[in-house]
Amino acid sequence: MDNNQRVIGYWISEKKKQKFNWEDFQNVCAKNGFELKMINVNANLESQGPFHVFLHKLTDTLALAESGDQNARAIITRIQGYIRKHPELIVIDPLENVRNLRNRHKSYEIIHNGIQLKDVFTPNFVELKSKYVSENLTLLITNNVKFPFLCKRLVAHGCSDAHKKCFQMMVIFNEKGLKDCQLPCVAQNFVNHNAILYKVFIVGEKFHVVERPSLKNFYQKDCESLNTIFFNSQDISKSGSNSKWSVISDEEAALRVKPNFKTFEKIVKRITKIFGLVLVGVDVVIENHTERYAIIDINAFPGYDGYPHFFDHLVNTIEKLMADQKSSKQNSRSAGIKKWPSDDLDSGFESDEKKKQSMT
């Protein structure tokens, strides 16, 4: 190996690697003077290095580790140890920041407290865990969550269930349906949005928005007549999804509004800043009538399906993080302080004013 070559060590699942056409990434890296090296997370990392960058999607392993799985714990401990020992390593993304997305309630709370944009919100939500329907009803009322609402599994990822049961969600229409909530869950107000979801795929300071199918509108009369709808979240908003729960009338479709680029730009700035993530996806729907933007889901290192030049943007972002690190090291050397991106949520990014986001 050329001693000057910069090495990106990575770990992502075989399935994800195939979806991404990883060979193309290898070529883009080589063109830009990076070696791409798969890390064996089950073995000592020191002997596999040195690495300049660590790129990963370890959401499932993090979730397993938190649920007590010994092998997953060993992997996370090994990786954390390596990161700690190599403070110069650029980690995409820091494990503690990715961990913030594991619990949906926690990530909604972070958005609710941090987004602070007048035309953007996260629908009212509350965590339900009681086996007593009456207790849950009280919580819903106290937190202003109304029928219909979505019942979402509390843990956002880490689905190793072969039957994909963990992707099951419910739309609950009335008190009778409360017994259908699978606990623990987050109940979140249903936002009517004419069945269009916007997937905002972010790569550092760049982003790209794709339109996807979503759930239909529900009205007051539905709360009187409908039983709980159970659906698999994976069947609703993939490109090419064609669920019966996405069908709306021509009149409703005619009311769809053109999304505003500037609003997405503002969302991207805030989300990357408050979560401290480089690779992140935001699911947004535009509320009928008010035209406010509702953030309904945040995903670490999502699929990026439909994102043009993803690998180029990723490599450019890595270059930028390396350059920022170099200059902040020089600055702190002169100021006598040490500052490193993963210690602070603003890290790796310029100030809002200076930052120039672009929609690809």
Ligand X SMILES: O=P(O)(O)O[C@@H]1[C@@H](OP(=O)(O)O)[C@H](OP(=O)(O)O)[C@H](O)[C@H](OP(=O)(O)O)[C@H]1OP(=O)(O)O
Ligand Y SMILES: Nc1ncnc2c1ncn2[C@@H]1O[C@H](COP(=O)(O)OP(=O)(O)O)[C@@H](O)[C@H]1O
Side by side, which strands form the sheet with 120-121?
120-121, 293-300, 279-286, 196-203, 206-213, 358-359
Instruction: Map tokens 């409360």 to a residue.
Output: 178
**How far is Cα 131 from Cα 53, in angstroms, rounded to an integer?**
46
Residue 150 interacting with ligand Y (CB under 6 A)? yes
Size of the site for Mg ion (CB under 5 A): 3
**Which of residues 17 and 256 has its CB atom nearest to ligand X in the complex?**
17
Answer left, alpha or beta for residue 95, where phi above 0 means left and psi between -120 and 50 means alpha. alpha
Residue type for position 54: F
- Return the residue of 54, 190, 198, 293 that touches ligand Y, per CB under 6 A: 190
89 is in an annotated binding site: no
**Which of residues 92 and 215 has its CB atom nearest to Mg ion in the complex?**
215
197 binding partner (options Mg ion, ligand X, ligand Y, none; Cβ < 5 to 8 Å by kind): ligand Y
Pairing of β 120-121 and β 293-300: parallel
Binding mask 296-335 for Mg ion (x = CB under 5 A): -x-x------------------------------------
**How far is Cα 255 from Cα 28, in angstroms, rounded to an integer?**
42
| CA proximity to 43, closest of 7, 2, 11 | 11
User: Are the CB atoms for 267 and 350 separated by under 8 Å?
Assistant: no
How far apart are CB 77 and ligand Y at their closest, in Å?
A: 27
146 is in an annotated binding site: no
325 binding partner (options ligand Y, ligand X, Mg ion, none; Cβ < 5 to 8 Å by kind): none
DSSP 204: T
299 is in an annotated binding site: yes
**How far is Cα 317 from Cα 359, in angstroms, rounded to an integer?**
14
Residue 214 interacting with ligand Y (CB under 6 A)? yes
26 is in an annotated binding site: no
Query: By CB under 5 A, which span of 60-68, 82-90, 134-142, 294-302 interacts with Mg ion?
Result: 294-302
Residue type for position 104: R
- Return the residue of 167, 305, 309, 319 that touches ligand Y, per CB under 6 A: 167
Side by side, which strands form the sheet with 125-128?
125-128, 185-189, 149-153, 168-172, 229-232
Residues near ligand X (CB under 6 A): 16, 19, 57, 59, 156-157, 159, 199, 238, 281, 283, 297, 299, 302-303, 305
User: What residues from 224 to 253 belong to the interface with ligand Y (CB under 6 A)?
Assistant: 233, 236-237
Structure tokens at 184: 């623990």
**How far is Cα 34 from Cα 206, in angstroms, rounded to an integer?**
21
User: Are the CB atoms for 39 and 17 separated by under 8 Å?
Assistant: no
Tell me how far the alpha carbon of residue 64 is from its chain's centroid. Answer: 18
107 binding partner (options ligand X, ligand Y, Mg ion, none; Cβ < 5 to 8 Å by kind): none
196 is in an annotated binding site: yes
197 is in an annotated binding site: yes
Structure tokens at 311: 């690998």
How far apart are CB 143 and ligand Y at their closest, in Å?
A: 14
User: What residues from 292 to 311 belong to the interface with ligand Y (CB under 6 A)?
Assistant: 296-297
CA atoms within 13 A on the CB side of 115: 25
Binding mask 97-126 for ligand Y (x = CB under 6 A): --------------------------x---
Residue 203: enclosing H or E segment and its boundaries? strand 196-203
- Return the residue of 215, 280, 295, 315 that touches ligand Y, per CB under 6 A: 215
Q: Which residues are annotated as a binding site for 1D-myo-inositol 1,3,4-trisphosphate?
A: 16, 163, 199, 299, 303
Q: Which residues are annotated as a binding site?
A: 16, 57, 104, 152, 163, 188-199, 214, 283, 297, 299, 303
Q: Which residues bind ligand Y (CB under 6 A)?
A: 123, 150, 152, 156, 167, 169, 188-191, 197, 214-215, 233, 236-237, 283, 285, 296-297
